[in-house]
Amino acid sequence: MSSNNHQGILVTASKVHVPFKAELLQAINDPRFQKRAPHLVGILATKKEDARSYAERACEQIGINFELRLVGQAREGMDGAGVGIGVEEAILEANEDDDVDGIMVYYPIYGDRQDQYLQSVVSPVKDVEGLNHQFLFNLYHNIRFISPLTLRPVPGAIETGDQPPEGTVKSILPCTPLAIVKVLEHVGVYNSLIPYGDRARGKVITVINRSEVVGRPLAALLANDGARVFSVDITGIVEFSKRPSKQSKYNPHHVINPTDLSLEEVLGRSDVVISAVPSQSYKVPTAQLKDGCVCVNVAGEKNFEADVRERASIYVPSVGVMTIAMLQRNLLRLCKYQDMVKEATQAKSA
Amino acid sequence: MSSNNHQGILVTASKVHVPFKAELLQAINDPRFQKRAPHLVGILATKKEDARSYAERACEQIGINFELRLVGQAREGMDGAGVGIGVEEAILEANEDDDVDGIMVYYPIYGDRQDQYLQSVVSPVKDVEGLNHQFLFNLYHNIRFISPLTLRPVPGAIETGDQPPEGTVKSILPCTPLAIVKVLEHVGVYNSLIPYGDRARGKVITVINRSEVVGRPLAALLANDGARVFSVDITGIVEFSKRPSKQSKYNPHHVINPTDLSLEEVLGRSDVVISAVPSQSYKVPTAQLKDGCVCVNVAGEKNFEADVRERASIYVPSVGVMTIAMLQRNLLRLCKYQDMVKEATQAKSA
């Protein structure tokens, strides 16, 4: 049984979720939400039965009014319908409906750039997934605090920590990358002794996947927090690291540079390895991992070999529960931002 | 020589270009441009030598001040640099530079969704390519006239033809799809006897390619103008057609529906076939074309067989010249929109 002594520990997202669930339950106790429960609309355009019940159940537990709207292939008797038919109209309808507080769309629909077009069709004030262009732009440029009216930084607002300066609110971050950051905070990769904004400093992190939904925003978030990040995809490896950019007037944020290191070399020096490859066959070779590293599997499929804990000191097999929690947190925040927008509009017209 | 009698005619984009060039030369005679020539910045991040000189020469001929800015791999001694390094910073710099009137970016850079992210980083008021999300949204929803300040329709503005109602300007259309529409107008596919907005009515058009840069906006433009469009890509064929959409408060615009027709069947009933497949090996089979159809090749490669004019009554082998002309036209328009924004800002602060 000696090999078991070397086995890293297993950390589930449900464990990480506990304080976030408590925080959500407390937040929803606000009179604002007691009067009318937050209303989240999920738009399903494809035949993905499993996705339905999960988000619905998670929202019920918290007290969020979740409504699934079916379009295209997701509708009964519409098996033969084209992919994505009606989804843009459904988003626009929800955008314009004052009774809807948040919108999530089940991607992939087209699986390509048309999905990205749809992400920006969702009204930012209802964008619980944080995938609208403006929110991604803020993330890439390390713009953490924004005006709830313009979604852009407020000139002259002075940042002193993790709380928004006067007149600003937190920008909305995409759920999955944010969920991963929360998991890394929980397992101690983020060091809370270091000042806010640099808490991943000193850590080398490999992120396998560079999509605009998970991998690139995640690599940027981690590098903006001070980590040295190797971003891996089929086109190669690039390095994200935080350095003051001479060409930008924004906050210090990551720069991207090419690297000559191979995957084996980056894995060998990585304190953390995060994999989000949507493939049954892709596996990160355990033998190439640095001993004692932290491994996080983000894909629906298992991207790590069965013996990953022989090398990893901590292994997180899934982050799904935390992704939904971050989506719920985004929803409650956006409800408050919407109130601020309404107040500002009323004050203007008064 | 009898087979020659059946040969369709060859129409070059240079021929179509003649009146547009004259119009551009006249427009640039405006005192506004005589004081300071319009300044277009081209951002090149990859090693694509041929692209450089072409746009530069075309702008010189018209009197546009074209400046090429090299970043990443395009810079001397930067052969080993990662793809796309510095391109976002270059766009932001040009966005903020009052001396720059228009920005074009040489795509593909990443060839994926990251390119689409960059398209929306370009400030809409300088977006000569018309690829910003807001302009694409307007196109898809058949929103032709917008406020120069919000880029959205002006409530209550009444449309009476192809001229913008009071307080509005024309939305900016992406260059390549717009160039193709102009070619189709030239060759008589658009019928000017029919009221504006429906001039492609009655025509069946196949568009091979459904990218967010060429194929989908083109299919939408043609369907919004009344055509029945079959949009073909590797995932299948869908039909774009104009019908009042019950779910939209916007102008009547296209709806998309699945079709059971095969490529051979849609080609056989198409009055117009437009192909934009970036592949040497892809060929539209001449034998499947409807006799007397119009064929337009948009790709850099030849997507039609050498004998295409045995069936086609008109063949347009390339639209590149017209794409640049539309880009130049967009630039001159955006200069005027920028003036309107400045005037509105000054009036507000006065």
Whether the predicted pLDDT of B4 surpasses 60: no
Residues facing residue B238 across a β-bridge: B231, B258
Average pLDDT value over all residues in chain A: 90
Degrees, nearest 5: CA angle A345-A346-A348: 65
Of B83, B116, B236, the CB nearest to A113: B116
Average pLDDT over residues B193-221: 93
A238 contact residues in B (CB cutoff 8 A): 82
Cβ distance of B89 and A248 shorter than 8 Å: yes
Give dist(CA B62, CA B64) in Å, integer.
6
Whether the predicted pLDDT of B81 surpasses 60: no
Average pLDDT over residues B183-212: 93
Average pLDDT over residues A261-282: 96
Q: In residues, how long is chain B? A: 350
Fold of B27-124: Rossmann fold (3.40.50)
Whether the predicted pLDDT of B151 surpasses 70: yes
The residue among A223 and B109 whose pLDDT is bigger is: A223
How is B234-289 classified by DSSP, letter by letter? TTEEEEEEEE--TT-SSSSEEEEEE----HHHHHHT-SEEEE----SS--B-GGGS
The residue among B50 and A318 whose pLDDT is bigger is: A318
Of A212, A238, A256, the CB nearest to B117: A212
Region of poorest pLDDT, from A67-81, A206-220, A226-240, A277-291? A67-81
pTM: 0.87
Average pLDDT over residues A260-267: 96
The percentage of residues in chain B with a pLDDT greater than 90, rounded to a whole number, is 71
What residue ranges do the domains of chain B occupy? Answer: 27-124, 175-320
The percentage of residues in chain A with a pLDDT greater than 90, rounded to a whole number, is 71
Is the CB of residue B150 less than 8 Å away from at least one CB of chain A?
no
Is the CB of residue A216 less than 8 Å away from at least one CB of chain B?
yes
Average pLDDT value over all residues in chain B: 90
Of B85, B133, B245, the CB nearest to A120: B133
Is the CB of residue B245 less than 8 Å away from at least one CB of chain A?
yes
Cβ distance of A257 and B113 shorter than 8 Å: no
B235 contact residues in A (CB cutoff 8 A): 83, 110
pLDDT at A235: 87
How far is the alpha carbon of B195 from chain A, nearest alpha carbon, in Å? Answer: 27
Region of poorest pLDDT, from A158-167, A253-262, B58-67? A158-167
Is the CB of residue A54 less than 8 Å away from at least one CB of chain B?
no
Region of poorest pLDDT, from A252-261, B146-155, B201-210, B238-247? B238-247
CATH match for A175-320 among 3.90.1150.10, 3.30.450.190, 3.40.50.20, 3.40.50.720: 3.40.50.720
pLDDT at B2: 40
Is the CB of residue B256 less than 8 Å away from at least one CB of chain A?
yes
The residue among A195 and A51 whose pLDDT is bigger is: A195
Helix, strand or coil, per DSSP, at residue B206? strand
How is A184-238 classified by DSSP, letter by letter? HHHTTSS-TTSPTT-TTTT-EEEEE---TTTHHHHHHHHHHTT-EEEEEETTEEE
Average pLDDT over residues A288-308: 97
Answer whether B27-124 and B175-320 agree in fold.
Answer: yes
| A39-44 vs A65-70, strand pairing mode | parallel
What confidence tier does B195 reach under pLDDT thresholds 50, 70, 90? Answer: confident
What confidence tier does A51 reach under pLDDT thresholds 50, 70, 90? Answer: low
- pLDDT per position as a tens digit, B37-57: 999 999 998 877 666 678 888
Cβ distance of B248 and A80 shorter than 8 Å: no
- pLDDT per position as a tens digit, B301-350: 999 999 999 999 999 999 999 999 999 999 999 999 999 999 988 888 77
Give dist(CA A298, CA A207) in Å, integer.
10
Give dist(CA B259, CA B237) in Å, integer.
7
Closest C-alpha among B35, B106, B109, B72 to residue B335: B35
CA dihedral angle for residue B33, residue B213, residue B95, residue B339, rounded to 10 degrees: 40
Closest C-alpha among B81, B280, B314, B297 to residue A259: B81
pLDDT at B49: 63
- pLDDT per position as a tens digit, B87-146: 999 999 999 999 999 999 998 888 778 899 999 999 999 999 999 999 999 999 999 999
pLDDT at A86: 85
pLDDT at A349: 79
- pLDDT per position as a tens digit, B27-37: 999 999 999 99
Cβ distance of A256 and B92 shorter than 8 Å: no
Element (H, E) at B50: helix B49-62
Whether the predicted pLDDT of B262 surpasses 90: yes
Enumerate the active-site residues of A. 175
pLDDT at B1: 37
pLDDT at B47: 79
Q: How many beta-carbon pairs under 8 angstroms link A with B?
A: 77
How far is the alpha carbon of B308 from chain A, nearest alpha carbon, in Å? Answer: 31
| A314-316 vs B145-146, strand pairing mode | unpaired
Average pLDDT over residues B232-240: 92
Element (H, E) at B204: strand B204-208
Cβ distance of B80 and A258 shorter than 8 Å: yes
A137 contact residues in B (CB cutoff 8 A): 120-121
The residue among A247 and B206 whose pLDDT is bigger is: B206
